[in-house]
C-alpha cells in the first residue's frame, strides 16, 4: 500500500502535470499571435484563453523574460528569442532552391496553387506553397495542419499507414471509425494509380490532385498537390494536372527526396 505521505487528495495534481499544463498555456498564448494580430493586450489573452488575469500576467512575464514575447506600449509582440527557433526551423524545413523552382514553375504553368504536405500523426502539415496567380485561389499557410480523413494528399500520404493510425484518423472524421474502410479504398486506389483526386471531400467547392514523393527507401515522405476551385478542375484539366505533377515529382524523386527536409535532397 502507498504510504500516507504518497497518497494524493482527490483532484490534486502532480508537479509534472502542473508543469505540462503551464507549458501548454504558454504555447496557447504564443499561438494567439498571427499576421492579422501581431500585438496582444493582456485583456485579449484573458478573453481568448479564459485564464485568470493573474495567471496570464505570470505566464506573459515569463515569456518576456525568455525573449519569446516583447512588451510595447500597445501590447505584446513576438520576441527576438523566437528568431533562433525560426532560423533553426528554416534550416531544417526550407526546400532546396531547385525544388522551390520546380514548384514555382508548376504554379505558374498550371495556374493553380501548389502545396507540399507531410504527415504528423493524425494530420498533414503544409511545409511549402506556391500560390496560384489567379484571383480566386486556394491558399493554405505554411505550417497549417489539415485533417487526413479526406483529400487527395491524404490518400497518397497514407499509402504505408498502419491500421491503428487509420482507425485514429477515422475517429477524428465526421463519420467516425466506420470511415476506415472508405479511407482504405481511397488509399489502395491511389497506390494503384500513382495519384489521387478529390472534389469537395473536405471543403465544398475545393478540388485537388496529389502525387507522392518518395524517400530513398521507396516509402512516401510527402505529397505534392495542385488545388483550387472545383469549377476549374474539369476532367481534362485534372488529367493535365496529373501529368504535370507526375513529371515534377519524378524530377524531385530523382534528386533523392527524403524527410526531414534539407539541402541534401
12-16, 117-121, 188-192, range with the lowest pLDDT: 12-16
- Determine the pLDDT at residue 264: 39
Mean pLDDT (whole number) for 145-174 = 95
CA quadruple 207, 187, 92, 37: dihedral, nearest 10: 40
Higher pLDDT, 15 or 108: 108
CATH number at residue 132: 3.30.450.40
Assess whether 73 and 176 both reside in one domain: no
Contact in structure between 77 and 39 (CB atoms under 8 Å): yes
Q: Which domain holds residue 167?
A: 94-254
Helices (DSSP H) in the chain: which residue ranges? 15-30, 42-49, 53-65, 82-93, 97-110, 152-157, 163-171, 180-193, 235-254
Residues near 138 by beta carbon (within 8 Å), at least 6 away in sequence: 112, 113, 132, 206, 208, 227, 228, 229
Instruction: Kindly state whether residue 259 falls inside one of the protein's structural domains.
Output: no
Assess whether 174 and 241 both reside in one domain: yes
Residue 8 has pLDDT above 60, yes or no: no
**Which of 57, 83, 109 corresponds to the end of one domain?**
83
CATH number at residue 26: 1.10.10.10
Give the global pTM.
Answer: 0.75
**Which of 48, 83, 118 corresponds to the end of one domain?**
83
Instruction: Kindly state whether residue 88 falls inside one of the protein's structural domains.
Output: no
Assess whether 107 and 222 both reside in one domain: yes
Contact in structure between 40 and 32 (CB atoms under 8 Å): yes
Assess whether 54 and 180 both reside in one domain: no
Assess whether 179 and 238 both reside in one domain: yes
Most confident of 97-106, 242-251, 253-262: 242-251
Instruction: Kindly state whether residue 181 falls inside one of the protein's structural domains.
Output: yes
Q: How many residues does the chain have?
A: 265
Instruction: Kindly state whether residue 8 falls inside one of the protein's structural domains.
Output: no
Neighbours of 10 (CB within 10 A): 4
Assess whether 163 and 65 both reside in one domain: no
Instruction: Kindly state whether residue 89 falls inside one of the protein's structural domains.
Output: no
Contact in structure between 75 and 44 (CB atoms under 8 Å): yes
- Determine the pLDDT at residue 262: 40
Number of structural domains in the chain: 2
Assess whether 126 and 222 both reside in one domain: yes
Instruction: Kindly state whether residue 7 falls inside one of the protein's structural domains.
Output: no
What is the tens place of the pLDDT at every residue in 165-183? 999 999 999 999 999 999 9
**Which of 40, 60, 83 corresponds to the end of one domain?**
83
Assess whether 99 and 228 both reside in one domain: yes
Reported as a pLDDT band with limits 50, 70 and 90, residue 143 is: confident
Phi, psi at 129, each rounded to 5° = -155, 145
Assess whether 205 and 102 both reside in one domain: yes
- Determine the pLDDT at residue 259: 54
Taking each helix axis from N to C terminus, what angle separates 235-254 and 97-110, rounded to the nearest 10 degrees? 170
Assess whether 144 and 202 both reside in one domain: yes
Instruction: Kindly state whether residue 5 falls inside one of the protein's structural domains.
Output: no
- Integer Cα distance of 49 and 104 in angstroms: 39
Assess whether 78 and 103 both reside in one domain: no
- Determine the pLDDT at residue 6: 45
Work out the burial of residue 147: count CB atoms within 10 Å of its CB; fewer than 13 is exposed, 13-18 middle, 19 or more buried.
middle
Reported as a pLDDT band with limits 50, 70 and 90, residue 216 is: confident
3-state secondary structure of 79: coil
- Determine the pLDDT at residue 98: 84
Assess whether 56 and 177 both reside in one domain: no
Residue 5 has pLDDT above 60, yes or no: no
Q: Could you give the percent of the chain with pLDDT greater than 70?
A: 89
Instruction: Kindly state whether residue 218 falls inside one of the protein's structural domains.
Output: yes
Amino acid at each position: 500500500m502507498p504510504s500516507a505521505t504518497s497518497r494524493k487528495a482527490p483532484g490534486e495534481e502532480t508537479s509534472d502535470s502542473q508543469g505540462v499544463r503551464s507549458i501548454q498555456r504558454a504555447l496557447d498564448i504564443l499561438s494567439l499571435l498571427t499576421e492579422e494580430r501581431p500585438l496582444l493586450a493582456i485583456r485579449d489573452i484573458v478573453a481568448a484563453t479564459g485564464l485568470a488575469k493573474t495567471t496570464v500576467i505570470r505566464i506573459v512575464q515569463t515569456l518576456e523574460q525568455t525573449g519569446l514575447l516583447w512588451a510595447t506600449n500597445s501590447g505584446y509582440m513576438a520576441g527576438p528569442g523566437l528568431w533562433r527557433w525560426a532560423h533553426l526551423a528554416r534550416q531544417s524545413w526550407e526546400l532546396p532552391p531547385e525544388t522551390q523552382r520546380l514548384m514555382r514553375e508548376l504554379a505558374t504553368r498550371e495556374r493553380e496553387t501548389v502545396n507540399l504536405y507531410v504527415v504528423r500523426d493524425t494530420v498533414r502539415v503544409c511545409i511549402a506553397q506556391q500560390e496560384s496567380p489567379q484571383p480566386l485561389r486556394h491558399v493554405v499557410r505554411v505550417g497549417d495542419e489539415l485533417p487526413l480523413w479526406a483529400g487527395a494528399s491524404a490518400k497518397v500520404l497514407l499509402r504505408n499507414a498502419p491500421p491503428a493510425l487509420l482507425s485514429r484518423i477515422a475517429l477524428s472524421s465526421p463519420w467516425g471509425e466506420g470511415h476506415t474502410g472508405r479511407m482504405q479504398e481511397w488509399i489502395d486506389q491511389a497506390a494503384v494509380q500513382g495519384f489521387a483526386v478529390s472534389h469537395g471531400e473536405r471543403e465544398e467547392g475545393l478540388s485537388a490532385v496529389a502525387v507522392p514523393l518518395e524517400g530513398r527507401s521507396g516509402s512516401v515522405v510527402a505529397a505534392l498537390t495542385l488545388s483550387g476551385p472545383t469549377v476549374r478542375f474539369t476532367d481534362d484539366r485534372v488529367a493535365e494536372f496529373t501529368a504535370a505533377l507526375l513529371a515534377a515529382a519524378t524530377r524531385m524523386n530523382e534528386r533523392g527526396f527524403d524527410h526531414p527536409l534539407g539541402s541534401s535532397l
